[in-house]
């Protein structure tokens, strides 16, 4: 299935422009909050989704034995889903901006870059749907993250294969840990509900499964980046620290704003 996805992704056109600086700016205009809203609106005509339904995570009126989420838990979910959407927006834009300069010098990376981009686009779409279902607003930092992630992708793409892969390794390390944290929290809720003898809705379990699947795909990207020479980047330590620090800062801000 992954091979099929890679083949489909490999056939996608890659954003190209004759003027390198435009490579950095163009993706920003293709992923605006407006485009997210449009994507959300169209979810009703999309194929049936396996994502949690709107009523499931927020419902407080289910049968007595059905576990309901507290206000604090709902606040956690709002914040978590908002950050996840912002993170996937950034990941999509990083790969979009990185690909043109990178492929000019390393055309053999086309299939890998297209595959990773296609998976990020799928993640982004998943969180767009979840935000629309639960009526959660995107982060107010959306335009800033769009510019910052496009610049990060474009600049590391220009620096070469090792720097681009070091960027991917750093981002995916932080994002993998981030999703792991969310999975742990949700599994804790499930355990508490089970101990109280409450029914855990399928939707909560589905959300856990979705987060685990996405986390695993992020960790695959991390492994691919290491295989493609991430640790040969110079200066590797500096790149790794700067990108990981930036990711942690962006997560912290997006949870609050």
User: Which residues, listed in sequence order, are joined to residue 140 by a DSSP beta bridge?
Assistant: none
CB 214 within 8 A of CB 123: yes
Helical packing angle, 142-159 and 236-256, nearest 10°: 170
Minimum Å gap between C-beta 74 and Fe ion is 24
174 contacts Fe ion (rule: CB under 5 A): no
CB 222 within 8 A of CB 173: yes
Lay out the site mask for Fe ion across 72-101 (x = CB under 5 A, - = otherwise). ----------------x--x----------
- How wide is the angle at C-alpha 239 spanned by C-alphas 12 and 234, nearest 5°? 95
Of 203, 218, 224, 228, the one binding Fe ion by CB under 5 A: 218
- Closest residue to Fe ion, Cβ-based? 123
Of 120, 162, 174, 228, the one binding Fe ion by CB under 5 A: 120
Binding window for Fe ion (CB under 5 A); candidates: 73-81, 106-114, 123-131, 231-239: 123-131
User: Which residues, listed in sequence order, are joined to residue 199 by a DSSP beta bridge?
Assistant: 66
Binding window for Fe ion (CB under 5 A); candidates: 17-25, 116-124, 127-135, 230-238: 116-124
Binding window for Fe ion (CB under 5 A); candidates: 25-33, 49-57, 159-167, 220-228: 220-228
- Reference 228, options 163, 159, 170; nearest CA is 163
133 contacts Fe ion (rule: CB under 5 A): no
- The dihedral formed by the CA atoms of 183, 187, 189 and 193, expressed in degrees to the nearest 10: 160
Of 82, 115, 123, 178, the one binding Fe ion by CB under 5 A: 123
Question: Which tokens sit at 7?
Answer: 């083949």
Interface residues with Fe ion (CB under 5 A) are: 88, 91, 120, 123, 218, 221
């Amino acid at each position: 299935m992954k091979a099929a996805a890679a083949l489909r992704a490999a056939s996608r056109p890659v954003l190209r422009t004759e003027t390198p600086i435009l490579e950095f700016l163009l993706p920003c205009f293709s992923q605006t909050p407006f485009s997210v809203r449009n994507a959300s609106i169209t979810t009703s005509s999309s194929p049936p989704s396996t994502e949690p339904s709107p009523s499931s995570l927020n419902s407080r009126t289910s049968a007595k034995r059905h576990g309901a989420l507290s206000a604090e838990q709902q606040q956690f979910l709002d914040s978590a889903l908002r950050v996840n959407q912002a993170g996937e927006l950034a990941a999509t834009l990083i790969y979009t901006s990185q690909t043109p300069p990178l492929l000019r010098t390393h055309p053999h990376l086309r299939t890998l870059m297209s595959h990773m981009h296609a998976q990020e686009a799928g993640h982004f779409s998943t969180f767009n749907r979840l935000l629309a279902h639960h009526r959660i607003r995107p982060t107010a930092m959306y335009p800033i993250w769009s510019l910052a992630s496009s610049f990060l992708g474009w600049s590391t793409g220009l620096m070469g294969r090792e720097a681009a892969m070091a960027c991917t390794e750093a981002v995916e390390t932080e994002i993998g840990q981030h999703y792991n944290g969310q999975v742990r929290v949700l599994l804790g809720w499930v355990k508490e509900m089970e101990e109280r003898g409450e029914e855990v809705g399928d939707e909560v379990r589905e959300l856990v499964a979705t987060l685990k699947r996405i986390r695993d795909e992020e960790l695959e990207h991390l492994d691919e980046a290491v295989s493609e020479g991430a640790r040969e980047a110079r200066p590797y330590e500096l790149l790794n620290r700067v990108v990981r620090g930036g990711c942690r800062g962006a997560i912290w801000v997006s949870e609050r704003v």
